[in-house]
Chain A
Amino acid sequence: AQRVTQPEKLLSVFKGAPVELKCNYSYSGSPELFWYVQYSRQRLQLLLRHISRESIKGFTADLNKGETSFHLKKPFAQEEDSAMYYCALSIQGAQKLVFGQGTRLTINP
């Protein structure tokens, strides 16, 4: 079965420190992976997806098929990065997303 695991429910780092939010997936097919972010009192929005290989707001994520991981990284955290982050897997051909449990990131000043 398809599954997305985010092992950390909460993550707290200081401003300027590096950030890594972990995501592992389980899927027998070719995965499409995404990171979604939800800022306080805002709707869920797409942060980045692996296929575009973009860097958004300083965040990057590399798909590692060997480790079945798609960790989200940022070298220098900013206070405005505080939010809820969800890793999601798109099941090929089905369009639907399977979400991880989410990680609440808090950036301390």
Chain B
Amino acid sequence: GAVVSQHPSWVICKSGTSVKIECRSLDFQATTMFWYRQFPKQSLMLMATSNEGSKATYEQGVEKDKFLINHASLTLSTLTVTSAHPEDSSFYICSANAAGKIYEQYFGPGTRLTVT
């Protein structure tokens, strides 16, 4: 149980376009979802926390107009990278908390974004 999926697993887009990444909890309801960014050989950096039906809380230094997060249901959160640039190329990972297990996060497999 407690599986989190991400789609797509990898995407290449041109500079200036927008890209949407989906994060789904497959067999549980996720009260909270988290979006991380991971640079090569570096740790995960939390970008934002989203709760179903409310606005995401962004970490300091993360542009909320650049990285749009929507958490429309208890099983789906989306991250849209708007007007992508090469420096946005990275590995984006989502995670989710199950109801009643606020300190245990289940991670998705990640999405590799390459902006050309």
Please list the residues of chain A having a beta carbon within 8 angstroms of any beta carbon in chain B: 32, 34, 36, 42-46, 49, 51, 86, 90, 94-102
Contacts and interface: CB of A to CB of B under 8 A. Distances in A.
Given A86-B44, A100-B43, A101-B42, A95 B108 contact: no
Given A95-B49, A96-B34, A96-B49, A45 B42 contact: no
Interface residues on B, range: 20 to 34
Interface of B: 4, 32, 34, 42-46, 49, 93, 95, 97, 102-105, 107-110
Given A32-B103, A43-B107, A45-B107, A97 B43 contact: no
B104 to A, nearest CB: 6
A90 B108 CA distance: 19
Contact of B109 (A43, A49, A95, A102): A43
